[in-house]
Chain A
């Protein structure tokens, strides 16, 4: 099976081929080209499974397989390479992308039935998959840029799929421009980071060499900070981090399978992936790490709050995606390399599931709004249970995939010896509550209560349900490879570890600092989990040190049980669901929660007093004020800044053009011509027609010349 790694390039090549074939011949085929897409993705998926198997079972850390050929000279002896870099991270992304893409392809065959641009849609899906895989397989940052921008284009074309309506056009443009703004950072960052590599090889963009050089400390701090912050800017925009997340909710204007594939599972995680790829570089600077962590924390919390007040099902999921991406980012920012990409991995499955489920619902009721749904569990049983699985996975219910990965993120926060670590842990925990709450709200509103649909809903067909089932299974199962129940030698952590990461450490962490930090973390937890108090063993430090990892090392070693975290997560989950149940359990729309909950609130106040408090001081402020404020700030302030920047630019353009270009610069040119004519008009009077005046001028001229001439000596 070794050969599979060498043929990894086939994985991106197959979707490219199918994209071209669909575009060329799709309309002539019985399935209008969709079968080509499914077929190629199926093969690509099988290949990916093989590659994943190879890399997963290889002794860790696996030596990456890199093949590249000179694509073109670039001048100055440098070359552009087209290459592949296959290691665990690549394999993991391959698996995720091809699987979700395959599911979405199958799903779309039914979902998009009868659309006028059906073939175009499938060509674009395939093209997108190719682009994403091209980014993933890239062995150099330049190739990554290419994939990065191509996914952006596909995203643009698919968001604007229903381009007859203006809001959809605007959404597509917004998405492209906001992400393109981030691309400024990517381009500049890649360029900046290529400079120190000039001496190293012919291809200054090579990722492995860059990582190695950074880990060896061969790259200056200034370069790293500038380069990585710039690249981070790109990740902020692509991965929907605040404040550049504004495009992502709007992007829901695209068809729902697109939202599932692009705006939930794959493309938006490109930013996370890229940072993970360049983690050894990023890990060189505490500043960069801290910025990443803080942005992630802000995002994960506030985006989650916004999700609370949405009626549009897809928007809830979109804000949820933003929030989850914040988790991943925050994890990367506090040293949780494995945690971040693990969450990326599991999130891809359950969020794709949720979106596809939402698509199934929308397909049934012809509306995005939860106020048009209700009681769907009866009409759509398969959709119902798969959706619930996805929801609990997202909400972090213990022993689901989301639980394992989110716990890893929180634990990473605990490990981190700096302030951002605690921030990630606590805010992350709080946001977990929010997550659970809004997902519960969604479930209750959609599946419980009474049907408010204008159409009699019906379960979707097999082609839509099958992907739901597959993804639902994975939403549970995928978490286990990164969980303590799995083998210590071959788990998610070892899978995605790279040799550079395994050897590298944080240069800014003093030898004993990380240990202290862990200790501190232990103390923090001591209060919450008395059973493990007095022992840092909770954090399984021994395991890591047993593996021979130094104090400042980047990889944390194999996962272990963190009972305290487990309990807290469970508590948070239950509390949230319970709270949601109290509020939305009747499945009634939230038009007037007070009215709905009036008697219940009274009872609760009378009996426990917690509900009223929770409602008044938690639900109301959070849902009605903080969330609305967040929504407002997101939609008005931040979006307004983007819109304002756009308007300002357009105004500036208008002014520049009207005033500067047309009047000043062009006027200067015209003015020169004009003044020549002006002088000419004045001067011509001299030619009066009177010969004696001519003679007089002549003589005067002679006299002047003679005098000047005689004096000139």
Chain B
């Protein structure tokens, strides 16, 4: 595949899951296992294709768009079907396919009530196209469509296969994000008409070096900010997240944490910053402050949780705070950090949700107090995995979590543009508080480990036969476990891929 001409490959990879969803619909519902296997095959083939795209990707030229398809789509409004991939998109795109593939494998043996793999996997495939499309769309309208497309399958995933409060959680998720995204659409429209060229093309708008005046950019950024911030989620827009995560089925949580949240930060980086640099500069200190509040606040909330999944969900608020801090730095290092944090959080927290889900399968509860410790005795492999991933999540160097956090703080010390002169002290404070957040993060994870892993299992579980990690779980988890280590040891895997693309992107922002 020649990355310059093989745009078809990307399009095929993008719509293969959608076609697969159609295919699944044709299989009779009673063929339960066949449906699950078919989903594995579909996601597997998609993943293989994406792996091939990754292999063919010209890493030396990661700053320019590759695998481009740019055809007129809705001529009435100049919208194009413009998909492509560059160094910023590639890791997220890859992660999307990997996680979905693993989720499909996981679903071979684990599917919560009421079963119905056909519907579940069909929705998952639909979700996959939506998520993947968001990361490769280079037309604002197309981006928005993929963005919104994600809502519906996730709504059903939570609402039909979720926990006891699933209906509340699903509706809250849907409405909150929908509400925010419409403001985003309005901002897109305003950009379109203000751009002069009247184009939706993200590269063209970026190259225009700022659309409209400062006032316009401020308002437009506010609209976009709201849309993305809810998705991220930034404090104080995060309240949908714990509910959604807690109630969602395991696979839903994994994809939600692993990919969906990244759409928000990706949007900031791909759209908000280059197209509205002045607005972004104005808002950057505020974003930074909110990000750091999120870090501290999320960690504090984690300390108060008694529910494993809810704890992990709140930890996302903190971790995404680091990502946003990177963005608030408004320099290349910050964007690098944010993107790395995205990937790392996706892998680690995705894995944590897998673990939490499997824990729930065994204990039939997510209450830390009911589990009561002793998991290392009861299920030693499982306990080791939990320790490993928790330690990765608290940002230990050598594992994936560290680089995003450290680099974000490092970037924030010298924010881009004029921010350093105007807000130097503020940013120093942000760095310090963010660093304190890492202590809190360590605190709640250690506490979690102590209460779940260590000690002797309470009487009620002592004689209960609980399976240690199953084979199918190993298969679906090992790639993530390895990735956590690999990203920690070879940060170049992500930093290196992104470097040229980030440089290119930031040249639009800071000139």
User: Which chain A residues have a beta carbon within 8 Å of chain B's beta carbons?
Assistant: 71-78, 80, 142, 145-146, 149-150, 153, 156, 160, 163-164, 166, 169-170, 172-173, 176-177, 180-181, 183-184, 187-188, 191-192, 194-195, 198, 646, 649-650, 652-654, 656-658, 661, 665-666, 669, 673
Contact = CB atoms under 8 A, between A and B. Distances in A.
A71 B435 contact: no
Interface in B105-119: none
B490 interface: yes
A172 B455 CA distance: 13
B391 interface: yes
Contacts of B414: 195, 198
Interface stretch (B9-17, B37-45, B298-306): B298-306
A72 B496 contact: yes
Contacts of B302: 653
Contact of B454 (A169, A183, A192, A658): A169
Nearest to A153: B396
A103 to B, nearest CB: 26
A149 B413 contact: no
Contact of A74 (B336, B376, B409, B435): B336
17 contacts: A74-B407, A75-B411, A75-B498, A76-B332, A76-B333, A142-B406, A166-B455, A169-B450, A176-B446, A183-B435, A187-B409, A191-B409, A649-B443, A650-B304, A653-B304, A656-B297, A657-B305
Nearest to A146: B397
Nearest to B326: A75
A656 B301 contact: yes
B491 interface: yes
Contacts of A163: 376, 453-455
B226 to A, nearest CB: 14
Given A71-B491, A76-B331, A181-B439, A194 B410 contact: yes
Nearest to A204: B410
Nearest to A156: B446
Contacts of A142: 406
Interface of B: 172, 175-176, 236, 239-240, 297, 299-305, 331-337, 376-377, 391, 396-398, 402, 406-407, 409-411, 413-414, 428, 431-432, 435-436, 438-440, 442-443, 446-447, 450, 453-456, 490-492, 495-496, 498-499, 502-503
Nearest to A131: B398
A650 B454 CA distance: 20
Given A80-B491, A184-B435, A658-B304, A73 B499 contact: yes
A231 to B, nearest CB: 12
Contacts of A184: 432, 435-436, 438-439
B331 A180 contact: no
A75 B303 contact: no
A173 B492 contact: no
A263 to B, nearest CB: 18
B378 to A, nearest CB: 13
Given A75-B407, A187-B435, A649-B443, 6 more contacts: A72-B492, A75-B334, A156-B446, A173-B447, A184-B439, A187-B406
Most chain A CB neighbours (cut-off 10 Å) among B332, B439, B502: B439
Contacts of A145: 397, 406
Contacts of B331: 75-76
A597 to B, nearest CB: 45
Contact of A183 (B336, B410, B432, B439): B439
A192 B435 CA distance: 13
A340 B334 CA distance: 38
A149 B396 contact: yes
Nearest to A173: B446
Nearest to B497: A73
A164 B333 contact: no
B455 A657 contact: no
A184 B409 CA distance: 11
Contacts of B175: 673
Contacts of B337: 75
Q: Which 10 pairs of residues, A with B, have the shortest CB-CB distance?
A: A75-B336, A75-B333, A146-B397, A76-B332, A653-B300, A72-B492, A653-B303, A75-B332, A184-B435, A657-B304
A108 to B, nearest CB: 21
Contacts of B499: 73, 75
B55 to A, nearest CB: 20
Contacts of B432: 184, 188
A629 to B, nearest CB: 29
A654 B455 contact: no
A198 B239 CA distance: 39
A170 B335 CA distance: 38
B430 to A, nearest CB: 11
A188 B455 contact: no
A657 B450 CA distance: 22
Contact of B440 (A74, A146, A649): A649
Contacts of A172: 446
A188 B440 CA distance: 16
Contacts of A166: 455
Contacts of B438: 180, 183-184, 187
Nearest to A187: B435
Contact of A153 (B391, B431, B455): B391
Given A180-B439, A180-B442, A188-B435, A657 B301 contact: yes
A149 B496 contact: no
A202 to B, nearest CB: 12
Given A177-B439, A180-B438, A650 B334 contact: no
Given A145-B406, A184-B435, A666 B239 contact: yes
Most chain B CB neighbours (cut-off 10 Å) among A150, A156, A191, A650: A191
Contacts of A160: 454
A160 B443 CA distance: 15
A658 B300 CA distance: 11
Contact of A646 (B240, B397, B411, B443): B443
B450 to A, nearest CB: 5
A74 B413 CA distance: 14
Contacts of A150: 396-398
B335 A653 contact: no
Given A146-B398, A183-B439, A184-B435, A652 B446 contact: no
Nearest to A145: B397
Contacts of B431: 188, 191
A192 to B, nearest CB: 7
A164 B454 contact: yes
B211 to A, nearest CB: 25
A164 B337 CA distance: 39
